[in-house]
Amino acid sequence: MSLRGEVCVVTGACGFLGERLVRLLLEEEKTAEIRLLDKRIQLQVLQSLEDCRGDTKLTPFEGDIQDADFLRKACRGASMVFHIAAIIDVTDSVEYSEIYGVNVKGTQLLLEACIQENVSTFIYTSTVEVMGPNPRGDPLIKGNEDTVYSSSLKFNYSKTKKDAEERTLQAHGEVLQSGGRLATCALRPMYIYGEGSHFLLGHMDDGIRNRDVLLRMSVKEALVNPVYVGNVAFAHLQAARSLIDPQKRNTVGGKFYFISDDTPPVSYSDFNHAVMSPLGFSIQEKLPVPLRFFYIFCFFLETLCMILRPFIRITPPLNRQLLTMLNTTFTFSYQKAKNDLGYVPRYSWEEARKCTTEWLASQLPMEREKIMSK
């Protein structure tokens, strides 16, 4: 199925994944209009899309996702929503009320706007972290949508994304004002990498400060399977095509899908090294201290911050749950997305690594200058 003639709303359109999806829609689909919804619309993003815009109308919508009237205006006359916008926080540095307001309340208001404005298709960008890992660090290898995994989510980010995902899937089949029905699905990508990743830049900056030696925060045995941003964007496109296909709508609607690709399973730290080693970075062979002492250190750090919280809010850069996430084997298959959505990774590991490394190389001089000037 083609999205020709569709009017699409993309939330978080100026972000890492959102911009990539908008570009893909412009390059591959003859959509009538794409509405770029973000808290702040970046002029450079709009300018960068001009080279592939064609006849598609690009309409910026700058506003708050917690503003119901703003969302209704953005959805009026649209036929499809890609909901990517979210607060990502793995250090619990954001107040719960703020992250809940954006991740949960914002999603609920957007679903209600779709029903009121007769938007029939809704694709939600979830995350693998709604699955875990659990605080015990139980490993999971090649999990799928039927895998049972005992998890007690600790991060507010994970909890709010799980809540928003459930609301999205429960909204499938809701009656629109026009009498039609809403079709929804959710995608759970692994850790997303590629051009524009602030996380990769942060790890590179740490390596620069450490004399071009990347910090090791995960043991080599803790395998995960990161996914390239271009493949995640393509999975969104395939989900949209499936939801507007009358033959697939009932199969896909109301379901979630794990999105990975053929990036080799590797630890988070060793993945950083895989994309940065061509730039001259090496990596610490072992954790700075044994893992058990890392946990003890984090426990005391968290306790100290809790004691100080009535007087001053300090967020430790590392906590026990983040340490668990970085050191737990947690891999998933994309087979169900392949079967139901027709998703097959658009980019190979070799292509994804090359593009990512070249982008990091383009950023390296600026990052060095920024760090050296401090």
Q: Is residue 259 over pLDDT 90?
A: yes
Other Cβ atoms less than 10 A from the Cβ of 116: the count is 15
Whether residue 85 lies inside any domain: the answer is yes
Q: Is residue 29 over pLDDT 80?
A: yes
Poorest-confidence range of 105-114, 251-260, 287-296?
A: 287-296
Mean pLDDT is highest, among 38-42, 97-101, 300-304, 312-316, for 97-101
Q: What is the pLDDT of residue 150?
A: 86
Residue pair 231/336 in contact (Cβ under 8 Å)? The answer is: no
Pairing of strands 7-11, 121-125: unpaired
Q: Is residue 93 over pLDDT 80?
A: yes
Question: Which of 112, 120, 101, 39 has the alpha carbon at shortest distance from 72?
Answer: 112
Whether residue 306 lies inside any domain: the answer is no
CA distance linking residue 31 with residue 241, whole number of Å: 12
Could you read off the pLDDT of 167-213 as tens digits, one per residue?
Answer: 999 999 999 999 999 999 999 999 999 999 999 999 999 999 999 99
> If pLDDT is split at 50, 70 and 90, which confidence band does 120 have?
very high
Residue pair 217/284 in contact (Cβ under 8 Å)? The answer is: no
Arithmetic mean of pLDDT, 357-362? 98
Question: Which of 59, 164, 75 has the alpha carbon at shortest distance from 120?
Answer: 75
Question: Which of 33, 30, 35, 28 has the alpha carbon at shortest distance from 9?
Answer: 35
Whether residue 65 lies inside any domain: the answer is yes
Whether residue 101 lies inside any domain: the answer is yes
Q: Provide CB contacts within 8 A for 317, sequence distance 6+.
A: 91
- Which residue range(s) make up the domain with 36? 7-197+226-264+331-355
Q: Provide CB contacts within 8 A for 264, sequence distance 6+.
A: 225, 349
Q: What is the mean pLDDT of the chain?
A: 94
Compute the radius of gyration of the chain from its Cα atoms.
Answer: 21
C-alpha to C-alpha distances, 218 to 29, 289, 294, 326, 373, nearest whole angstrom: 41, 11, 11, 5, 30
Q: Is residue 374 over pLDDT 80?
A: no
DSSP bridge pairs for 331:
none
Q: What is the pLDDT of residue 202?
A: 95
Other Cβ atoms less than 10 A from the Cβ of 152: the count is 9
Could you read off the pLDDT of 307-330 as tens digits, one per residue?
Answer: 888 888 888 888 999 999 999 999
Give the chain's domain count. Answer: 1
| Predicted structure pTM score | 0.96
Whether residue 363 lies inside any domain: the answer is no
Return the active site residues. 157
Arithmetic mean of pLDDT, 261-289? 97
177 Rama sector, left if φ>0, alpha if ψ -120 to 50, beta otherwise: alpha
Whether residue 269 lies inside any domain: the answer is no
Cis? peptide before 288, omega within 30° of 0: no
Residue pair 182/117 in contact (Cβ under 8 Å)? The answer is: no
Other Cβ atoms less than 10 A from the Cβ of 81: the count is 29
Question: Which of 326, 324, 327, 304 has the alpha carbon at shortest distance from 315?
Answer: 304
CA distance linking residue 168 with residue 104, whole number of Å: 10
Q: What is the pLDDT of residue 312?
A: 85
Arithmetic mean of pLDDT, 120-136? 95
Task: Tell me the residue type at 372.
Answer: M
Residue found under tokens 């999806």 = 21
Whether residue 150 lies inside any domain: the answer is yes
> If pLDDT is split at 50, 70 and 90, which confidence band does 295 have?
very high
Whether residue 368 lies inside any domain: the answer is no
> If pLDDT is split at 50, 70 and 90, which confidence band does 64 have?
very high
CA distance linking residue 311 with residue 202, whole number of Å: 29
Arithmetic mean of pLDDT, 15-24? 96
Other Cβ atoms less than 10 A from the Cβ of 136: the count is 12
Between CA 99 and CA 110, with CA 104 as vertex, the angle to 5 degrees is 125
CATH number for the domain spanning 253: value is 3.40.50.720
Could you read off the pLDDT of 225-244 as tens digits, one per residue?
Answer: 999 999 999 999 999 999 99
DSSP bridge pairs for 58:
34
